[in-house]
Amino acid sequence: METSIQTIGYITKEEDLQILDFNIIEGTTVLETFEPFPGYHREIEQSIFPRSVFFILKTPLYREKTARIYKKMKKNLKFIFQISMTKIILNNQVYDAIRVLNINEYRNILELQKELLADGVVFYKNSIKPGTAIIKTYKQFELTEIKTDLFISNRNNLFSYFIIPKKISWDNFKEITTKIKNSWNLVSFDAAIGIIYTKNEVFDVVRIFSNHRGHSDLQKIQEIYLEKIQIKS
């Protein structure tokens, strides 16, 4: 029997970030993903609308404050968007940021910044050198458990998650993922790590993004990761 859950947690992944220098408040620092799913070979079409956009902050926001601002912004703005809190490690520096998803025009970025500014959000104004970053995004999840410890997102079924037995560093995870992909000749996928809270506990998870896969593919990916992680330990 499939079980649905709503929970919170975060996802950590590596992305290449570039500077966004138009349709923003002058003097603020805004970054944009260059390729949102670098491990996924490229059934995703190139687009002319924003992917993930990051407003770098001078001071962090916390979950309750972010939720209240988001609720207010959705009433005031007439276009679709999502925001979430994020930490970015870039060039050995840690930055607090707001990640924005699902906007379909660059001009909306300026409107979002103005709303945040009116709510007291303080933007970071120093320059940042673009590059490869480790990004931790705090999220709400709506998941269906299709098999023990294997979940599909109810919001977007291209995303799936499975529980792993222990916390693993990004470097070790990246090494394991590279080895799997070098020996993998089936579906293309992008992978990340994170945590979710469920069953009154915290669980480490792997997040998989793929456009062409059935449950059997997911289970095979799950089995290989679990085997590699056990060997790594």
In b/e form, how buried is each residue of 202-217, taking b as 16+ CB within 10 angstroms?
Answer: ebbbbbbbbeebeeeb
CA separation, residue 182 to residues 39, 178, 227 (Å): 12, 6, 16
CATH topology of domain 141-232: Aspartate Aminotransferase, domain 1 (3.90.1150)
Mean pLDDT in residue range 51-63: 92
Give the model's confidence band at 125: pLDDT under 50 very low, under 70 low, under 90 confident, else very high: very high
Taking a C-beta distance cutoff of 8 angstroms, is the pair 54, 83 a contact?
no
Residue 5 has pLDDT above 80, yes or no: yes
pLDDT computed for residue 83 by the predictor:
95
How far is it, in rounded angstroms, from Cα 37 to Cα 30?
Answer: 19
Residue 32 has pLDDT above 80, yes or no: yes
pLDDT computed for residue 63 by the predictor:
87
How far is it, in rounded angstroms, from Cα 53 to Cα 166?
Answer: 31
Q: Which residue has the tokens 């925001």?
A: 83
Residue-wise pLDDT tens digits, 163-208? 999 999 999 999 999 999 888 887 788 999 999 998 889 999 999 9
Give the model's confidence band at 213: pLDDT under 50 very low, under 70 low, under 90 confident, else very high: low
Where do the domains of the chain lie? 11-134, 141-232
Mean pLDDT in residue range 56-83: 94
Amino acid at 135: I
Mean pLDDT in residue range 54-66: 93
Average pLDDT of every residue of the chain: 89
- How many H helices and E strands in the chain? 4, 10
With a CB cutoff of 8 Å and minimum separation 6, the contacts of 178 are none
How far is it, in rounded angstroms, from Cα 50 to Cα 24?
Answer: 13
How far is it, in rounded angstroms, from Cα 183 to Cα 38?
Answer: 18
